[in-house]
Amino acid sequence: MSIGLVVFDIAGTTVKDKGNINEFFRNSFSNAGIPEVDKADVDEVMGYRKKDAIEIIVKKYKPGSEKNEAYIEGIHDDFTKQMVHYYETCEGLEPLPFAEKVFKELQKKNIKVALNTGFTRMITTPILNRLGWDKASFIDEVICSDEVPEGRPYPFMIEKLMQKLKITNAEDVAKVGDTKVDIEEGLNAGCGVVVGVTTGAYTKEELRKYQPDYIIDSLEFLPSLIL
């Protein structure tokens, strides 16, 4: 096995997450008549395509309404507006420690660097713009959950990145993320290395349940695992 591509999640893995995603999710549910959604229930669906995550929560708190497409779409639109405004205006939006250094170190070793996310492109664009990652040479490709047939834990985002970056063997891919579905996505894609990070939504103990190859507390430790 020789890693030729590393696929990183965004929020909580390479970009600092202050819990705002969870807060905005719960705001959107409250606005749709589902107050007091438990924070832990929202953490459980972090990393999913956001429309899928909404359906999971609605099914639990308002059974039957998850089949109402207009209702789900309304919650998703509300959430998207909140997130876009936040990422366009918030102070302190920044990469997690060592993220950019690791990207550059991998590329020096001829390893491609890609980002994937449960966000739509509409939410992802202001993140990339604010960080200057939309034009950064140290990121080879970015893909969003609304650009494939299904989001995580399905492997479609990784498979599309492999096609774009001409990686033919999934064993040559490493997946790095902070949630259950990041790990499941990597395993479902057949990635050679799957790494969980504790900088986002899940603790080390929570990540361990899903059996990644490694769990790290900082991206600083990633190159030593795959180089």
Residue 75 token pair: 């919650």
C-alpha–C-alpha distance, residues 13 and 218, integer Å: 9
CATH number of 20-89: 1.10.150
Give the pLDDT of the chain (227 residues) as one tens digit per residue: 699 999 999 999 999 988 789 999 999 999 999 999 999 999 999 999 999 999 999 999 999 999 999 999 999 999 999 999 999 999 889 999 999 999 999 999 999 999 999 999 999 999 999 999 999 999 999 999 999 999 999 999 999 999 999 999 999 999 999 999 999 999 999 999 999 999 999 999 999 999 999 999 999 999 999 98
Distances (CA, A) of 129 to 73, 82, 88, 95: 26, 17, 9, 12
Q: What pLDDT score was predicted for residue 135?
A: 95
pLDDT of 197 reads 98
* Domain ranges for the chain: 5-17+93-226, 20-89
pLDDT number for residue 105: 98
Q: Hey, what CATH class is 5-17+93-226 in? A: alpha beta
Residues 183-210, buried b or exposed e (16+ Cβ, 10 A)? bbbbbbbebbbbbbbbbbbbeeebbeeb
pLDDT of 148 reads 98
pTM of the entire predicted model:
0.94
Q: Is 57 helix (H, G, I), strand (E, B) or coil?
A: helix
